[in-house]
Structure 1
Amino acid sequence: MTLEWFKSSYSTADEPACVEVSWRKSSYSTADGPECVEVAPTPSAVHVRDSKNPDGPQLTVAPTAWVGFIRGTTE
């Protein structure tokens, strides 16, 4: 995954720019389908959340743990 940063909607012209990470929704996630996940990778962590409940709890793991998880699911 490529890290994508964008200017936050909370940034204003008279204050320093804020940044947010870009959440990526699973390609298996649909409006009427099963619940899936979204991930937001950063240099120091990968954040994971439920795509149907974006304001709910989030899981944060180290990038190395995420790579291990992805390798384990694709083997």
Structure 2
Amino acid sequence: MNARLPDPASCPLCGQANRCAMEVQRETGQPQPPCWCTKVDFGTELLARVPAEAQCLACICPACASGAKSA
């Protein structure tokens, strides 16, 4: 098997850091406040752009999510 898993700290759409609080907590062991993404409506169109292999494994970053505010 040569399949690469998505990097959970990188946005599956642009590859930039997604600043996911849950991933920071997993990496550091330090408790984090609720993630910024819990207050965002990503919309079905934006979520549909996430590659199947990254769905539910890597968070969309704030920059990519900002386009979803009007959705």
With normalisation by structure 1, the TM-score equals 0.26
With normalisation by structure 2, the TM-score equals 0.26
Greater helix fraction, Structure 1 or Structure 2: 2
Q: Give the structure with higher Rg (CA).
A: 1
Greater strand fraction, Structure 1 or Structure 2: 1
- Structure having greater relative contact order (Cα 8 Å, sep ≥ 6): 2
